[in-house]
Amino acid sequence: MCGIVGMYSRERPISVNALDRATNLLRHRGPDQQRLWVSTHSRIGLGHTRLSIIDLETGDQPLSNEDEQLHLVVNGELYDYERIREGLKRRGHMLKTKSDSEIILHLYEEKGIGCLEYLRGEFAFLLWDDREQKLFAARDRFGIKPLFYAWKNEILYLASEMKALFAAGIQAEWDQQSYYQHLFLCMDQERTLFRGVRQVPPGHFLIADSQGVQIKPYWDLDYPTREEVDPARSKEDYLEELRYVLEESVCLRLKADVPVGCFLSGGVDSSAVLGIAVRQFPEKIRAFTVTFDHEAYDEGRVAKETAEWIGADYVPIELKQDDFAAHIEQAVWHSETLGHNAHGVARYLQSRAVHEQGYRVVLSGDGADELFAGYIYSRLDYVLSNEDGLSEQSQRQRLEELSLRNPAFRDVLFPSQTTQALKVCRQVIGSTPAWIQAMEVSRAPLKSLLNQSFLSKFLSFDPVKSLLDSIDVDGQLTNRSPILQGLYLWNKSLLPNQILFADRLEMAHGVEVRMPLLDHKLFEVVRRLPTNMLICELQEKYALREAAKPYLTETVYRRPKQPFTAPHSTLDPKNSLFELIQDTLRSQLVQEIPFINPVAIKVLLDNIPKMDYRTRINLDSIMLLLVSTCILHKCYISKQLAAHS
C-alpha cells in the first residue's frame, strides 16, 4: 500500500514543485520513501510514497521496463503474482525487482489494456507509455483503492487522496449537487463532494492522450438473470466450491515480508478470515479488536472467545467516548467525506493502535455483507419478493418476524406512506431496494435543517433517479432478482463511497488492510449462488456461515449480524462527543456553509435533552453528517479561501 500522484499535460511542462507538494502530502500512506519521476519533455510526472511490505530491498517506485519506455506507480497489492512473474520470465521479460507491482509493466507490454484481466487484488496505478505518449490509469474491481482526478489549466492531476490534488493547486470547493445527493442517498461512483474532482470508478480504466481523456469499464458485477441460475447443482457442491476459493483468497493475502495481523469483531466475517489465516499461517497471528465502554456496542467478549479458541493472540483496543471527540477532526480530514456514525473514528484509532504495535498489514472481514447479502435490507427484499413462494399468510408472518427482530429499523423499513424512491424504482427497475427506501425515510428530517435557498436549487433533482441514470439498467438490473438489484446498486454507490473510504483512515497510520472477502475470484463463485443460499429462513449470509463453519465457534456461528457501530453520541448529552457536536453546530463556522440553517439547528439542539431514547438515537446520524460537513468545510474549503484572499 502506498500513495500515488500523477500530472499530465498535452502541451506545456508540468510544475515539478506541485508534483512534489502533492506527493509529500501523502507521506502518511508511504512513510518509507517518497520519489518522483518526470519525463524528459516534462509533460508527465509521477510521484510515489512507499509503505514497504513486499520486496523490502528492491521494490522502490516509480518502476520502469527494460527499455525505459514504460513508467509506473502502484498503490495496493497484487496476489498470485509469483506465478505470473515466472511466466513472464519464461517468455523473456527481464524483471528488475521481486515486487508484485512490476508484473503490471510486463503484462502491459504483452496485453496492453488487457493486462487488467490478469490482476487479482486491490490496486490503483498510473502507467505512462512513452512510445504511445499516453497515460493509462486503472482502479480495482470493487474500488478498494481510491483514485481521484481533476483538470486545471489543461493539466490532468491524479492522486490516491483528494488532499494531494488540493496541494498541487486544485481549488477545493463544494459540489452542491453531489453534497445534496450524498446527504439523501449516496453519490454515484464517479462523483466526489468537491467540484471538479472526480473518481475513476471501480472496475474502470482511464486513458489520457493528445485526443483527451476516456474512462471505460473493464469489469462489472454481472449478476445472473433469473434464467441463468443453475437449478441442478446441490447445496453441498456450492458450499465445497465456496469453501475452497474462500480459503485460497485468505491464504493469498497472508503473503508479506512483514508481520501480518487480523482485525476481529464478534461476527462471522472477520472470525472466518482469522480462523482460516491461523490454520494456514506458520506464525502466531495477532487479532486486534476494538472494544467500547458501552456494553450494547462492545464485541470484546465474543472476539476474545474466538481468538482463544482458534489460537490467536487477542489484542483489545479500548476506546472511550472522549477518544471520539478528541480525534473526529483528524479522522474526517483523512476520510475526505461525510460520516454518519463515529465508527469511522474507531477505524482511524484502531489503525493507529495497530501501527503502534509494529504491524503494517492486517486482514479484515470487510465486504462480506456486500457479497453475501448480510444487511437487514437484503432480508426484507428477499421476503417481499417471495423468493420461496410462500402463501400470503406465511409471507406476512415472516415480515412480522423480521420487524420484531429488528425494532431499531422498523420505522425506516416499513414506512407508513409511499415514498418517492418507491415510485421511481418501480418505474425504472420494477422493485424498490429496501436500502434506498430506508435511506429516503431516515434522511428526510435533514431537510428541515438545511437552508431553503440551497434546497430550492434541487426541487426537480431526484437522487434516486440520478443514481439509476448512472447505471446500465438494461445490462445489469433487468430480469434480476430484487435482492440482486439491491446489492448491485449498493455496491455501485455505498460500497466505494461510504464503506471503502476506510482505506484513508487506515492508511493515515501506514496500515495496509487486505480484504479476502472482496476478491473477484471469490465473487465469481458467490454471484452464481441461488438467492436462497444467500438468505435462508431469514438467516443472513447463509452460504458464508456454512462454508466457514469449521473455523467458527458455536457462539459466532449462531450469532445474528451485529453491525460495527460506535456508541451513539446523543445517548448521553453529557458526553464529550455530544458536547463537541453542540459546540460545532452552534459555532460561527455554520454561518459560512451555504447548506445549513443555523436557526433550525439551534432549536433542535436545545430540544435533544428532552427527547426520548429512540428519537435521540435516530438523530445521531444526522448530527454527525452535519458535524462532518463543518469539519470538511473548515479543513478544506475555509483554508483555501483564506489562502486565496
Binding residues for L-glutamine, as ranges, are 100
Torsion of Cα atoms, 180 then 440 then 452 then 587, to 10°: -70
Choosing from 2, 186, 425, 635, the catalytic residue is 2
Q: Minimal CA–CA distance to 486: which of 502, 499, 467?
A: 467
The whole-angstrom separation of Cα 382 and Cα 535 is 7
All three cell numbers of 235:
447445496
Binding residues: 100, 290, 364-365
Q: Which residues contact 112 (CB under 8 A, 6 or more apart)?
A: none
Q: Supply angle C-alpha 374, 525, 520, rounded to 5.
A: 85
H/E stretch holding 54 reads none
Whether 630 is catalytic is no
Amino acid at position 251, single letter: C
H/E stretch holding 234 reads none
The whole-angstrom separation of Cα 483 and Cα 491 is 12
Q: Which residues contact 229 (CB under 8 A, 6 or more apart)?
A: 528, 530
All three cell numbers of 349:
484509532
CA distances to 207, 380, 417, 461, 613 from 410, rounded to whole Å, are 47, 11, 13, 28, 15
H/E stretch holding 609 reads none
Whether residue 38 contacts residue 130, with contact meaning beta carbons closer than 8 Å, is answered with no
Q: Minimal CA–CA distance to 49: which of 132, 211, 163?
A: 163
Chain centre distance of CA 315: 25
Binding residues for ATP: 290, 364-365
Residue numbers annotated as active site: 2
